[in-house]
Amino acid sequence: MFFRFTAVSQTHTIEIDPVGSGAGSLDAVVVVYSGSSCFALNEEACEDTPGGQGGTTILTHNGFTIGEEYWIRVYDWCSAGNVTNGSFEICITHENSEDITVQSISSLQPSYTPGQTIAINCEQCYSGSTPELDLPNPNIIAYLSTSCDPADALDSDNESSGIGSDDECNQENFALDIPLGTPAGTYYIVIVADANDEVEEGSGENNNTECVPVTIGCTTPAVPTPGFRQCLMPWPIDGSAIPLEWNPVPGAVGYRLRVGIYPYEAGIFIDVGAGDCYAGTSYSVPALFTTGIPCYWSVSAFGECGNELCQSAYSAPRYFSFPPVVLPGNGTTICDGESAELSLETFWVVDAPGTNSAQWYRDGVAIPGATGGTYAATQSGGYSVVLTFTGSLWCPDPVVLGPSNIVQVVEDNLDTDGDGVPNCTDNCPNVAGQIGSPCDDLDACTTGEELDANCQCVGTPDNTDTDGDSVPDCSDDCPNVAGQIGSPCDDLDACTTGDELDANCQCVGTPDNTDTDGDSVPDCSDDCPNVAGQIGSPCDDLDACTTGDELDAGVNASARRIIPIRMVTACLTALTTARTFAGQIGSRCEDLDACTTGDELDANCQCVGTPDNTDTDGDSVPDCSDDCPNVAGRLPERCGSDRFTLR
């Protein structure tokens, strides 16, 4: 059997209770289907009674779509035969749907200005079946935003509510600050209930937010209005600018001044600033006006997009006048009893009847009777003037202008540099001498020094370099000798070392008395530094067969060799006597024959060499026995390797 119902919640409970005479035999099974008709169904859930026949069958299914139609089928499981006439009751239930909403938002003012605080009251309300103690306290947040999206918020405030089925609504209070600098325009108060999604709402979160528009305007800048009797304003001494001031405008990032003469509708526009909002606002307007003509001005505040937020009223008329200015006239030095003629620059106050009076001062003290437009100063000091303007229709009260600038007057008896010429006629009052006077610039490398037009001592550079060592004579320790004191040099004395120029520019070295051979002659001047004596000195060559031994140029002992007859005989005998040699066959030996080479013991143990018959000079005498191997001819006789003369 099929039943049909429409879901009103995501979760429904379906209960089947057997009733009547067949109640004890019914084993009910309940099945839930989705679909458009009973011929096109999809099973969603199924439940059989665990207790069997006569028991209650309960199916709880979470997954229904609210508003969709569903089908329920109930049948007997046939656990006790084919029971078809069992009676039962079917009950479909669901829990109450929970929902949180924003209600009762308080009325807002027509407009707010930057820097103000917006106060908001509202209620956060709950609908559902859960009491307050069983619910978390849902958070509620209020935003001041440029749109209905909290992500665009300029400021926010939050509260939390203890609400539930037993306390459905709770009032919340918020305070939202409008930041300074906020441009004028339409903004939004966005209130989000259950902002942190602490309560799972059956209807979703789509009805938790309320968005209410609010207007933020502009505070008109206030231009201070002077009293009627303060209408006269001193013009800046340099005539370059006029200071104006106004109160800051919250939300403004720039200002424009409308400044001009009467009628002010034809004023000149001057832009002022385009950056931060001024805490205390002022501006120096270029001097665009003629003195004495009334000036009007107002201020407009601008937002960051260049839109004009608001404009002040025009100021009361202002009149400007130059302060007095003292001119030096013929100079400020008193020379030879003359006076310094001081005068006032032309000044203008207002275009109305009135009286100007002057008072001259010397070093801040009023000069009796000095009330005219000029003054002849006969004493040194600082002179200034104060003007007083009275009797004007526009400015009935006295207006004091000044004091003026101070002009210093100096007497001529001062001689600062002590050169006998007073300062008043001295073209170099702080340096002894006059322009062109000789002087000393303390620079050794200049000549012809004299004071120039700037009273500076200047000379002509002198780059003479007598010794050619690239150091000008003017800064050269030794101008006539190449190098400086301490430079290395050569004193041409072999017996000195470390030669350098001394304080007298002389090349001087340290004496070197080393005497290696101990013959009392220093090595530096010793012909034979390693052998006692000099070339030609007598010596002993330790050869008994020589006489007249002396040191030769090669530092060797040389002598004439004298050999007695008996020694010749002994020599010849030695050359012809057989000799016995130590060693083996093939061992090296000496056959005492200068005309052989490669001497070695032969098979008979005789020392035998290979004859060397080289004859360089071609005189048929081998070089080995030729007294003059490179010249044809020879000396008398030879004994072995020793030459001697037979007498």
Residue 214 has pLDDT above 70, yes or no: yes
Q: How far, in Å, CA of 647 to CA of 630, rounded?
A: 26
Question: In this predicted model, what pLDDT tens digit does every residue of 186-198 receive, in sequence order?
Answer: 999 999 998 888 8
- Choose one of 355, 376, 411: the last residue of a domain: 411
DSSP H or E segment with residue 576? helix 565-576
DSSP H or E segment with residue 29? strand 28-37
Report percent pLDDT > 90 for the chain: 17
Question: In this predicted model, what pLDDT tens digit does every residue of 472-491 receive, in sequence order?
Answer: 888 888 989 888 888 899 88
* Strand segments (E) across 63-208: 69-76, 87-93, 99-103, 117-127, 139-145, 153-160, 169-177, 185-192
Question: Bigger pLDDT: 164 or 46?
Answer: 46
Q: Is residue 566 very low, low, confident or very high in pLDDT (cuts 50, 70, 90)?
A: very low
Unique residue bearing structure tokens 């002509």: 460
259 and 296 within one domain = yes
Q: Which whole-number Å values give the CA distances from 420 to 416, 424, 576, 608, 618, in the listed order? A: 9, 12, 121, 119, 109
Q: How far, in Å, CA of 506 to CA of 513, rounded?
A: 21
337 and 235 within one domain = no
Note whether residue 383 is domain-resident: yes
Residue 400 has pLDDT above 60, yes or no: yes
Q: Mean per-residue pLDDT for 333-356?
A: 67
Residue 235 has pLDDT above 60, yes or no: no
Count how many domains the chain has. 5
Note whether residue 521 is domain-resident: no
117 and 53 within one domain = no
Note whether residue 590 is domain-resident: yes
Residue 456 has pLDDT above 90, yes or no: yes
Q: 60-74, 344-358, 421-435, 514-528 — which is least confidently predicted?
A: 344-358
DSSP H or E segment with residue 327? strand 326-327
626 and 615 within one domain = yes
Which among 616, 584, 613, 579 has a CA at the least distance from the CA of 601? 584
132 and 203 within one domain = yes
For 340, the token pair is 């310094």
pLDDT at 559: 46
Note whether residue 609 is domain-resident: yes
Note whether residue 556 is domain-resident: no
Question: Bigger pLDDT: 139 or 204?
Answer: 139
SS3 275: coil
pLDDT at 453: 94
Note whether residue 523 is domain-resident: no
Tell me, what CATH number does 362's domain have? 2.60.40.10
350 and 283 within one domain = no
208 and 105 within one domain = yes
- Choose one of 320, 342, 374: the last residue of a domain: 320
Residue 600 has pLDDT above 50, yes or no: yes
Helices (H) and strands (E) in the chain, counts: 1, 41
336 and 311 within one domain = no
Q: How far, in Å, CA of 301 to CA of 254, rounded?
A: 6
Note whether residue 424 is domain-resident: no
Q: Is residue 624 very low, low, confident or very high in pLDDT (cuts 50, 70, 90)?
A: confident
Q: How far, in Å, CA of 229 to CA of 209, rounded?
A: 60
208 and 275 within one domain = no
pLDDT at 393: 54
- Choose one of 261, 290, 320: the last residue of a domain: 320
204 and 110 within one domain = yes
Note whether residue 474 is domain-resident: no
SS3 567: helix
What is the model's pTM?
0.32
Q: Where are the alpha helices (DSSP H) in 179-279?
A: none
Q: Is residue 260 very low, low, confident or very high in pLDDT (cuts 50, 70, 90)?
A: low
Q: Tell me which residue range forms the domain holding 400.
A: 322-411
Q: 308-322, 369-383, 434-448, 471-485 — which is least confidently predicted?
A: 308-322
Which among 256, 253, 282 has a CA at the least distance from the CA of 268? 256
Q: Mean per-residue pLDDT for 200-215?
A: 77
Residue 634 has pLDDT above 70, yes or no: no
Question: Bigger pLDDT: 556 or 570?
Answer: 556
Q: Mean per-residue pLDDT for 276-290?
A: 48
pLDDT at 344: 81
159 and 202 within one domain = yes
Mean pLDDT of the chain: 76
pLDDT at 397: 65
Q: Mean per-residue pLDDT for 147-171?
A: 90
Residue 276 has pLDDT above 50, yes or no: no
299 and 250 within one domain = yes
Cβ proximity of 23 and 75 under 8 Å = no
Ranges 220-234, 252-266, 395-409, 418-432, most confident? 418-432
